[in-house]
Amino acid sequence: MLPMTNDPTVAAALERMYRRTTHGIRPGLEMIRALLAEIGHPENDLVCLHVAGTNGKGSVCAMMESVLRAAGLRTGLYTSPHLVRFNERIRVHGRSISDVDLARLLEYVEPATERVEKMSATPRPCTFFEMTTAMAFEQFRREKVAVAVIETGMGGRWDATNVVTPAVAVICDVDYDHMQYLGQTLEAIAAEKAGIIKSGRPVVTGVRRVEALAVIADEARRQGAVLIRAEEAVSVRRLGQDWRGQRIHIETASRRLPPLYLPLLGGHQLRNVAIAVAALECLCDIAGLEWPDEVWKRGLETVYWPARLQVLNERPVTLLDGGHNPHAARALAEALRELAPRAPVGLIAGLVSDKDHAGFFRELTPIVACAWIVPVYSERAAVPSDVAAAARAAGLGKVEESDLPTAWSESRIWAERAGGIVCIAGSLFLAGEVLAFRMGDRDLYDGSV
């Protein structure tokens, strides 16, 4: 892995921040509100789009930010987790913040965090994500961004980002994940996601399951929020695809865009495009903005969101995907069936311990010919032998335990001999390791990796 930073002072401060991950996930907004009050409520200065969902929210955020930037607006983008460097979480106008800016943020926010923690009224220590969220909001205020696109970390109702009052709330599809925190049913999970809906503010959703959609609709009614279903507001049709992306046609009630080339693969990304376009049209209606077709086309054609069916090599085809739950694995399997219906798939997989391993592999079993199970370098990593056992139990035939360099080499040899493709999936931590190896000392989000 690449070092977090070349600046030893920043590295030490980040190490202190990472120790806050031991505080775990703490429901409640009291601490983040106290911290934001201590630094002058930067969130109140932001016009933002707030995005929740089980899968797809990062892609939707990236698409919206790219179009906003193409329109000439100064953008902020806050996402998590990072793949290689912490700086990726906070981006301004398409670029990760610099180490210099990160050092200034840490110097300002860390002492404020310590002051707040000493106040008797605060019930607990500040978590890593709460501190990171405060840093993002402060950086966006300093940079005077015109629109900030904010991705929830998990859930919505008690997520640290849920202190904003967005211009538009966005809820992508909802499925089973983080059930130990969000609930055991789709209705319960949807209720947590619906917690980002604010009074009188429109909400755009891509939720498809009837039971989850009903929960979203009920909360929108309670909040007096107009509910816009992306699939009804935006038509997205695929005209063709190859390993570089998808040629698509987009039509709404107010525009009919010329065909464009979306550099993100998979049918699920067509649903994500619809969500992004619906949310941006809603923002335009609120703000009285009107963008020419070229802005939409340029923004979507230049979106860059790594580790989402990202093609690393074409000979043999090697794909990198951060999907880590059954819902994401299902989308991955569907995409591979469309892109290479007759090619066997060699899977390199590494997972963390709190995911549904059996469910993940069951979705991939019909298309995977062989698998290499590799370790993931995270405190949450699952034991590779346990992951391999889950893969075998799900019906995968040939399963080996390996390490990433060996699996990379052996899978390429296998693919060349079998006429197959290689897919690396199961964890964004694993995806980060792969990208760190490939990119060298460069900004991951410069779009050139």
**What is the rounded CA–CA span in Å between residue 277 and residue 27?**
32
Q: Is 304's pLDDT higher than 60?
A: yes
Burial of 294 (0-12, 13-18, 19+ CB in 10 A): exposed
- Answer yes or no: is pLDDT of 372 > 80: yes
Q: What are residue 415's phi and psi, to 5 degrees? A: -65, -40
pLDDT at 226 over 60: yes
The per-residue DSSP string of 265-307 comes to -SHHHHHHHHHHHHHHHHHHHHHT----HHHHHHHHHT---TT
Place of tokens 């311990």: 353
Query: Does residue 212 contact residue 188 with C-beta atoms inside 8 Å?
Result: no
| Residue 164: both structure tokens together | 């904003």
pLDDT at position 378 is 82
**178 pLDDT tier (thresholds 50, 70, 90):** low
**Which residues partner with 245 through β-bridges?**
242
3-class secondary-structure state, position 443? coil
Mean pLDDT for the stretch of residues 218-234: 98
Task: Please report, for the chain, the start and end positions of each structural domain, with discontinuous segments joined by +.
Answer: 8-301, 310-446
- The count of C-alpha atoms lying within 13 angstroms of the C-alpha of 420, restricted to the half-sphere facing its C-beta, is 19
How much is the average pLDDT of 276-286? 98
Q: How many Å is the Cα radius of gyration of the chain?
A: 21
Name the band, by pLDDT with cuts 50, 70 and 90, for residue 12.
confident
Q: What is the pLDDT of residue 379?
A: 81
Residue 341 burial by Cβ neighbours in a 10 Å radius (0-12, 13-18, 19+): exposed
Helices (H) and strands (E) in the chain, counts: 16, 17
User: Which of 383, 432, 377, 374 has the alpha carbon at shortest distance from 403?
Assistant: 374
Look at the domain 8-301 and name its fold. UDP-N-acetylmuramoyl-L-alanine:D-glutamate ligase (3.40.1190)
What pLDDT score does 4 carry?
Answer: 54
- In angstroms, the CA 52 to CA 60 distance is 10
What tokens does 431 get?
């995806």
| Strand pairing report for 147-151 and 95-96 | unpaired
The answer to whether the beta carbons of residues 276 and 232 sit under 8 Å apart is no
Q: Would you state the pLDDT for residue 22?
A: 67
Architecture of domain 310-446: Alpha-Beta Complex (3.90)
Q: Which of 343, 338, 355 is nearest to 425 (CA)?
A: 355
The strand order across the sheet containing 260-262 reads 234-242, 245-252, 260-262
Residue 439 has pLDDT above 90, yes or no: no
**pLDDT at residue 390 is higher than 60:** yes
pLDDT in tens, 82-136: 999 999 999 999 999 999 999 999 999 999 999 999 886 656 789 999 999 999 9
> What pLDDT, on the 0 to 100 scale, is given for residue 442?
55
Integer distance in angstroms from the first to the last C-alpha of the chain? Answer: 16
Write the single-letter amino acid at 186.
L
More confident residue, 50 or 17: 50
Residue 440: pLDDT over 60: no
Structure tokens at 76: 């902020």
* φ, ψ (nearest 5 deg) of residue 244: -90, -20
